[in-house]
Amino acid sequence: MNSFRLLVCWFLLVVACASCQQNYVPKPHTYFRIDFPEKEYRIFDNSCPFSFEYPVYGTLVRDTRPASEPCWYYINFPKYKGTIYLTYKKIDNDFDIFMEDNWRFIYTGMAQKADAIIPHPYVIPEINVYGTLYDIKGDAASSVMFYVTDSVQNFLRGSLYFYARPNYDSLAPAINFFREDVDVLMKTIRWK
């Protein structure tokens, strides 16, 4: 009977010690919650040969770098560390060159890190607006790029960048939020 008690005590001691160990389970990575503002837009209209609507929570700034041209702008979102870069070119029998440069920039420059490049055509003949918005999936430097043109005189190209290491999963909420602003810009552009 004594040996039975000793065996039971020994068994309970082993079970008690084994049950006190914690099995470590790694927690999944999480990302900060981002509170986005309500969508509201204002009109950009100056001496450039186009106008469009852009978000009130963005700051429109003229590009003043030495290599910049008139009508090159940034829409900065400092709170979100993002920028939409806009470059305008006047078409002078070089429309095919602009289209080829745009294609090369997207499909060769971004393709190395992109998992997929999904084009969304924009055709609004009533206001003479034609273009394409590109959703770039994966860890590419820019996840949204676009161009709009009247295919005769005006060509506006843009891209959305964030000042963060490209990580599509963590940037997805911000990308989706600002992609809507690019969509509005493309749909509200008017040529002068």
In a domain, 107, yes or no: yes
**Domain range holding 180?**
41-191
The total number of structural domains in the chain stands at 1
pTM: 0.80
- Please tell me the predicted confidence (pLDDT) of residue 190: 96
- Please tell me the predicted confidence (pLDDT) of residue 175: 93
In a domain, 56, yes or no: yes
In a domain, 26, yes or no: no
The enclosing domain of 79 has a CATH number of: 3.40.1000.10
The angle at the Cα of 51, spanning 40 to 37, to the nearest 5 degrees, equals 15
In a domain, 172, yes or no: yes
CA distances from 57 to 11, 33, 42, 72, 146 (A): 67, 18, 10, 19, 21
Token pair 């929570």 is found at: 57
In a domain, 130, yes or no: yes
In a domain, 19, yes or no: no
- Please tell me the predicted confidence (pLDDT) of residue 21: 59
Average confidence (pLDDT) per 10 residues, the chain, 192 residues: 69 64 65 84 96 97 92 95 96 91 84 85 94 92 94 95 84 93 97 94
- Please tell me the predicted confidence (pLDDT) of residue 146: 97
